[in-house]
Structure formats: structure tokens, C-alpha cells
Amino acid sequence: MKLLVVNGPNLNMLGKRDKNVYGSFTYNDLVKMIEDWSKKNGVEVEIFQSNHEGEIIDRLHRFDFDGLVINPGAFTHYSYAIRDALEIVKVPKVEVHISNIHRREEFRRKSVTAEVCDGQISGLGVYGYILALEYVKKVSFESKD
């Protein structure tokens, strides 16, 4: 089983962004937390980050994973291209956001990508990634039976 975690634009800047919104975790801290979860659970996890919409779409189009956790970053609010790519991907998938997008600026409250995911986790900090991974792992295992 292989799970894919996709991080969109500016997530590589965690630790440098507004700590009141995103916390003090750096991107390397996030990667280590996911890698530790992967080892503990015996599940292969690939972590992919890009600031470019087309690169994210190309990665999704490889279809070499059994479950997906995606934080599309700002693409959440307007990328119909990523939305369409997510719709094509027929694996368990969860959209995750570190901050609560529903308590932020008006333009950040709408997600065009969440409706083609199984669910959305928003506002639980980096721990939302772990919850999302637990879900996609469980559902991916169940679908293999």
C-alpha cells in the first residue's frame, strides 16, 4: 500500500509564514511527522510539494497510489484543473488545511476541491494530516478486502 501526500503552493514556507495562522512547525517538521507515522504504521508514504499547478496535476495523473491526502494551498479556492484531476483519481482522498479556512478571509472560505474528496479536515494544525492519513489508510485497506 502506498499513500501520497500532496502539498501545494507556499507550504514549503511553513515556519516562515504567519505563526498565528500556521503555527511554528516548519515544512521539515511536517515531513518528519508524516515519515514517523509512516514507519510506525508500516505504510509507504510519498510526500510531494509543488508551487506549480501543472506539476501537482501531473503527479496526480501518475495513479500510483492507494490513498491521497492533499493540501492544495491557495489552489483550493480556484483551481478547477486540480479539482478535475482529483475527480479522476478513484482512491480514498482527504483535503487538509492547517488553518481553519472557514474562519479566515472570505475568499479562503470556498473550496472548489473539497467536493471531489471524501472529506475535508480544516483548522487542526499539522495534526490534521495524521487524521487524514489514518482515514485513507483504513479505507484503502478495507477496499482491498
Report the catalytic residues. Answer: 22, 97
* Cα 44 from Cα 80, distance rounded (Å): 29
CA nearest 8: which of 102, 91, 111? 111
In angstroms, what is the C-alpha Rg of the chain? Answer: 14
Which residue type sits at 46?
E
- CB atoms < 10 A from the CB of 1, how many? 15
**At which residue does the C-alpha cell 475527480 appear?**
87
Order across the sheet with 119-122: list the strands. 44-49, 2-7, 67-71, 93-97, 119-122
Grouping H, G, I as helix, E, B as strand and the rest as coil, residue 37 is helix
